[in-house]
Amino acid sequence: MTQRAIDSSGEQTPGRSLSEGAGPPAYDPRGLSTAEVAERVARGEVNDVPVRSSRSVTEIVRANVLTRFNLIIGVLWVIMLAVAPIQDSLFGFVIIANTGIGIVQEWRAKKTLDGLAVIGEAKPTVRRDGTAAEISVSAIVLGDLIELGPGDKVVVDGTLGEADNLEIDESLLTGEADPVIKRAGDAVMSGSFVVAGGGAFTATKVGREAYAVQLAEEASRFTLVESELRSGISTILKYVTWMMVPTAVGLVISQLVVKENDFKDSVARAAGGIVPMIPEGLVLLTSVAFAIGVIRLGRKQCLVQELPAIEGLARVDVVCLDKTGTLTEGGMDVTEVRPLGSADEAYVSRVLGALGGSDPRPNASLRAIVDAFPDPGGWRTTDTLPFSSARKYSGAAFREEDPRDGTGSTGTDSVWLLGAPDVLLPDGDPELASIEDLNEQGLRVLLLSRAKGALDGPDAAAGSVPTALVVLDQRLRPDAGETLRYFADQRVAAKVISGDNAVSVGAVAGKLGLAGAEHTLDARRLPAERDAMATAVEENTVFGRVTPQQKRNMVAALQSRGHTVAMTGDGVNDVLALKDADIGVSMGSGSEATRAVAQIVLLDNSFATLPSVVAEGRRVIGNITRVATLFLTKTVYSVLLAILVVCFQVEYPFLPRHLTLLSTLTIGVPAFFLALAPNKERAQPHFVRRVMRYAIPSGLIAGAATFLTYRLAGNHYSGAGALDAETSAATLTLFLVSMWVLAIIARPYTWWRILLVASMGVAFLIVLAVPWLQHFFALRLVGTTMPWAAVAVAAAASVLLEYVWRLVGRRFGA
């Protein structure tokens, strides 16, 4: 906890309760006393809204257990336990295991997210007993005096007691992009953030009474919604339900009524036809894949505030980078001060020291000046103008009371501005040429200028006298170049968008090896019309002098051209663009406002973590697409087999134990490993279409080949045990065809993928070879003619499968 003393003129007034009916708050610059805080805590007037970075354990269990497919399978399981041997009820135990795995993995992800959320939690500065200290948001009590500075988020509702050129952005609440100037006595609402200036406010509403609590809770909620992958799976499940219900009804009627079989055997075979229609493991496996992704990224200090962000960043084709804090480290160093005209270097140093001392919360540039030039003392600040990214300069007015001011007099008033030279200097000024040379070296240049008018004038910079150039060296992030090369290799366009001079930004990008860094554009020449702006943004790589609203417009322009845009940033001027981008990425050291709106927070401030997020998203999307094809192939051939059984009025070929064995060996176990495997394929849109164009023909071929073998075996075998022999032959064909589907999906082959496919085949051979396993699974190949015929049918089906997959691949470019 950091603390500092607060000077206060006037005496402390007793704090007042701000409960309903208590009237307007009493402002005390010293804040509450320890006794008053304890009193409010005892009354429960605490900001006790829980930080929700994940679902609760109860919600996790409910979401994984209470699904419609688990309900269907649960009912069938209970029925099977009553009418059939235990081996026909194995599918129920498999579902319990899968559900348990899903719960455990999401619980682990919850622990990871909760731990990271605590690390990245905002720490507002609160005055108590005249001392300012950082506390957790949940420790704020009613009536607390909370300080505000640039980039701070307003965490509870309140009334301003102090306002120093305070500008607050309420766009997250109202949608209005323009900052609102606030004065003492004005209300501030939670969810807004400070753009410029500073102040302090008294908390009037805390906890669930605060205006934006629901907004804040939803923004940090662990969720799997609004994702193409998740919505695509939901769409698939909807279609499956439509197919499953009428098919299952027909199958049950066929087995119970038409064939007039033994009741228990009919129920078992009807259940055997219904259970494999349900791709229940697909939903669970997707949840597990996402949860493991959260855990993996959490180990790299990456907080995923909205889970679809993992998927979203994998689809990104344009990433917009803010230079400061992303390509460069936050710190800077003053390398040179060049007095202009007749300015005295010693006097310039004292002005810079006074400017540094006038801002209680200096930005990175001013922090470098503070480190280089100590406060001269004797300079009383009479007015300040905080830095604004729209204005591009800051300023302060002083009463110089130091006799060493260079003039031999005391009591001199002066107004100074510090900011962008190309903003403070008129076009054509001769100094701009030398500044351009410095910018081309990647150096940052600020102009110290003496203003002729007051700071609060409509244009304080008009007619100001240039006094000195301050040259700053920016520290490049050592990992930024490698990260930019990664994006280039992955065909993701990188756009550097900065409020700094375009030439300087281009030089920095060039040092890092960014392709196209020479294509720089001053945003003041950027066309306002969206289509023209989109063309300019697509054609250029580096943009300087970009205002916050322009950043937002540039993101929208790229999105209008069909691009999926990610935006990185750490400053308050990035908030609007971060909010509008498809994926917002904030640095952990960034302002509270940027962390609040970003979907991904890099807690270790390492730009090099982004490739890991992209890779994790591609792994999840690519692998789930693969395994979804496996699951839905099973659904298609199960529905087809049921339809054929009803049409031909024959017994269903399989018992649940057969399909449990097949599903485990050709789908369940392989899908688990394939879903967690490395995968660098670029994410493609239209998930449902891409999965179904492979799953439908594969399922039709597998179902048709299986039913053909079943009918051939029915004509070949007769007498007692004929049905078991027919089922065994059909099972062999279905296993071999399903294995070929698995072998196709496992490509490109690696040693472990070959081992995975081979081990599944060996496991099936063991079942056929070991007598007690043969009995347990009711599998017995009789003779040699029909088993080899089953193999031949499977071989022909596999050749057809290979042809269809290649044809689909050529047709759709997959």
Q: Which residues are catalytic?
A: 322
Q: Given the structure tokens 């490049």, which residue do they identify?
A: 476
**What phi, psi does 461 have (nearest 5°)?**
-80, -15
Q: For 676-686, b where at least 16 C-beta lie within 10 A, e where not — what string?
A: beebeeebeee
Element (H, E) at 814: none
Where b means 16+ CB within 10 Å and e means fewer, 357-377 reads bbbebbbbbbbbbbebbeebe
CA–CA distance, 43 with 440 (Å, rounded to integer): 61
Beta strands in 486-618 (DSSP E): 493-497, 520-522, 542-544, 565-569, 583-587, 600-602
The 8-class DSSP code of residue 142 comes to T
CB-based contact 677:619 (threshold 8 Å): yes
Quote the CA–CA distance of 322 and 500 in Å, as a whole number.
10
Question: Tokens representing 495?
Answer: 């756009």
Contacts of 91 by beta carbon, 8 Å cutoff, 6+ apart: 73, 76, 77, 80, 275, 656, 659, 660, 663
Q: Calculate ∠ Cα 678-682-686, nearest 5°.
A: 115
Q: How far is CA 22 from CA 15, 45, 409, in A?
A: 11, 13, 54
Cβ(451)–Cβ(395) under 8 Å?
yes
Where residue 406 falls (left for φ over 0; alpha for ψ -120 to 50; beta otherwise) is left
CA 782, CA 329: separation in Å to the nearest integer? 74
> What is the H or E stretch that residue 302 is in?
strand 302-304
- Residue 149: what residue type? G
Burial class (CB in 10 A: 0-12, 13-18, 19+), 517: buried
